[in-house]
Amino acid sequence: VQLQASGGGLVQAGDSLRLSCTASGSTLSSYFMGWFRQAPGKEREFVAAISWRGGTYYAESVKGRFTISRDNTKNTVYLQMNSLKPEDTAVYYCAADFISRFRGNYDAPNEYEDWGQGTQVTVSS
């Protein structure tokens, strides 16, 4: 599946952004979806994930501020980010893992087979 992430931008602390990840080439209803981020000089880290049944998982650092959701009719996964902080600044990537391949490690980058190109989120203080 090909993934296209969008919605990033430059915002101030406390603002909100909604990222979108739209798929082509296959239907997302058969994929476990994740959002990861990578700040300069740091490793890629887990942000949030959503199962094909709608179950959600979050990193502790974003719990209560970020919400992941999916609209299978639009073949799109969203990441609503509220109360943004400067430490949320990173390139955000969406990722997909096909249902038959999923091993349960939703917070591990190497769990996911397909990745989008990333969208930059910059939060100023």
Tokens matching residue 113: 């087979």
Q: What is the pLDDT of residue 89?
A: 98
Tokens matching residue 58: 């979050």
Ranges of residues in the chain whose predicted pLDDT is under 70: none
Kindly report, residue by residue over 31-51, the tens digit of the pLDDT: 999 999 999 999 999 999 999
* Bridge partner list, 76: 22, 71
Cβ(95)–Cβ(115) below 8 Å: yes
* Bridge partner list, 46: 36
Q: What is the pLDDT of residue 115?
A: 97
Closest CA to 82 of 54, 58, 50: 58
Which segments of the chain are extended strands (E)?
A: 2-6, 9-12, 17-24, 31-38, 45-50, 56-58, 66-71, 76-81, 90-98, 114-115, 119-124
Report the distance separating Cα 84 and Cα 68, nearest Å. 15
Q: What is the pLDDT of residue 58?
A: 98
| Alpha-helical regions (H) of 1-125 | none
Q: What is the pLDDT of residue 60?
A: 98
Q: What is the pLDDT of residue 100?
A: 86
